[in-house]
């Protein structure tokens, strides 16, 4: 029931409920429901298909995802779908069902396995209720088409990728409600990348935190002054991973700022060419530097 004045939204009291913990007395429950004008509920229900509360049995909380996939398959199994039709159906319908949940929560690994098993059976079956031969493992079908697979989603990897986007939003929108709440509770004196998981973390924080390593490994830098960027350990050269060069320990160059002439904000051409192989040096010299250099920022 979160409504801002700017949205000029009215609470729908018929659809609103309040959920109390077991420690709330009956008298307090009556007072709160009378003030709010809504009914109480012993079931936290769902919002946009997601559970409002998730207990220790996370798999049971997300069981509805597996049930919805089974239902979709049952509704279509009696129809004569070609193999190409099944491929489109899997990508467009079945694998899209858990997408919203996966963008918010880290799902149990056992649930991935069960969902992928259900989809694999549908892919290989000869007809409704007729089990087919599984000619290869599901993970091989998740390989990109150009590499010999069919491009189906690896559920676990896709889940982490979606959660990494949420982590990126915490970094780029630090004043958002979610970012301010998580920072105040889990990393009030540090940043997202240096945050610890903490004791008894919420499922939301535990989920976003699980994608931190992936996000850190793929974030690049746009060069400003170069004072924040490690030449060897950060991603800052377009289309190039971290620089691997045998002489990295034999040079005093540590930061990108060491390669920039601060007097006119241009690359130190001779130093760049003498420090890196020719192909990498050319890529570095093609990175544009603004006349009035600003701060480095991550992209």
> Buried (b) or exposed (e) across 270-284, using 16+ Cβ within 10 A?
ebbbebbeeebbeeb
Whole-prediction pTM: 0.72
Structure tokens at 8: 């000029």
Residue 225: per-residue pLDDT: 86
Residue 6: per-residue pLDDT: 44
Question: In whole angstroms, what is the distance from residue 154 CA to residue 112 CA?
Answer: 9
What DSSP string runs through 71-127? HHHHHHTTS---HHHHHHHIIIIITTTTHHHHHHS---HHHHHHHHHHHHHHHH-SB
Long-range interactions of 271-274: CB distance < 8 A, separation 24+:
none
Residue 150: per-residue pLDDT: 92
Along the 299 residues of the chain, how does pLDDT read in single tens digits? Answer: 444 444 445 667 777 778 777 888 888 888 888 888 888 777 666 665 666 666 666 777 888 899 999 999 988 765 678 888 999 999 999 999 999 999 999 999 999 999 999 999 999 987 666 777 888 999 999 999 999 999 999 999 999 999 999 999 999 899 999 999 999 999 999 989 889 998 889 999 999 999 999 988 888 888 888 888 888 888 888 877 666 655 555 678 889 999 999 888 899 999 999 888 888 899 999 999 877 777 888 88
Residue in this structure with the two tokens 């699980």, named with its chain if needed? 210
- Judging by DSSP bridges, how do beta strands 17-19 and 39-41 pair with one another? parallel
Question: In whole angstroms, what is the distance from residue 108 CA to residue 57 CA?
Answer: 10
Between the CA of residue 143 and those of 137, 138, 225, what are the distances in Å? 11, 9, 40
What SS3 state is found at 185?
helix
Contact 267, 260 (CB under 8 A): yes
Residue 9: per-residue pLDDT: 58
Residue in this structure with the two tokens 């009696």, named with its chain if needed? 78
What SS3 state is found at 241?
coil
Phi, psi of 100 (to 5 degrees): -65, -40
Question: In whole angstroms, what is the distance from residue 158 CA to residue 112 CA?
Answer: 11
Residue 237: per-residue pLDDT: 87
| H-run or E-run covering 297 | strand 297-298
């Amino acid at each position: 029931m979160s409504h801002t004045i700017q949205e000029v939204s009215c609470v729908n009291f018929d659809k609103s409920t309040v959920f109390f913990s077991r420690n709330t007395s009956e008298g307090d429950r009556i007072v709160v429901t009378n003030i709010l004008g809504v009914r109480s509920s012993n079931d936290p229900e769902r919002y946009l298909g997601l559970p409002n509360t998730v207990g220790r049995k996370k798999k049971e909380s997300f069981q509805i995802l597996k049930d919805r996939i089974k239902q979709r398959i049952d509704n279509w199994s009696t129809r004569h779908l070609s193999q190409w039709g099944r491929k489109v159906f899997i990508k467009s319908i079945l694998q899209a069902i858990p997408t919203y949940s996966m963008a918010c929560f880290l799902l149990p690994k056992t649930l991935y396995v069960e969902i992928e098993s259900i989809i694999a059976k549908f892919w290989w079956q000869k007809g409704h209720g007729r089990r087919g031969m599984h000619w290869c493992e599901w993970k091989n079908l998740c390989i990109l088409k150009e590499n010999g697979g069919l491009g189906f989603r690896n559920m676990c990897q896709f889940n982490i990728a979606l959660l990494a986007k949420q982590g990126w939003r915490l970094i780029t929108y630090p004043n958002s409600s979610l970012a301010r709440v998580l920072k105040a509770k889990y990393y009030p004196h540090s940043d997202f990348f240096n945050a610890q998981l903490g004791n008894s973390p919420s499922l939301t924080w535990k989920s976003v935190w699980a994608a931190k390593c992936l996000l850190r490994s793929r974030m690049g830098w746009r060069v400003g002054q170069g004072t924040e960027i490690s030449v060897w350990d950060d991603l800052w050269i377009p289309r190039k991973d971290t620089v691997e060069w045998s002489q990295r320990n034999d040079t005093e160059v540590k930061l990108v700022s060491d390669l920039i002439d601060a007097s006119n904000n241009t690359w130190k051409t001779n130093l760049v060419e003498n420090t890196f192989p020719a192909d990498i040096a050319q890529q570095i010299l093609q990175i544009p530097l603004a006349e009035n250099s600003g701060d480095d920022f991550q992209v």
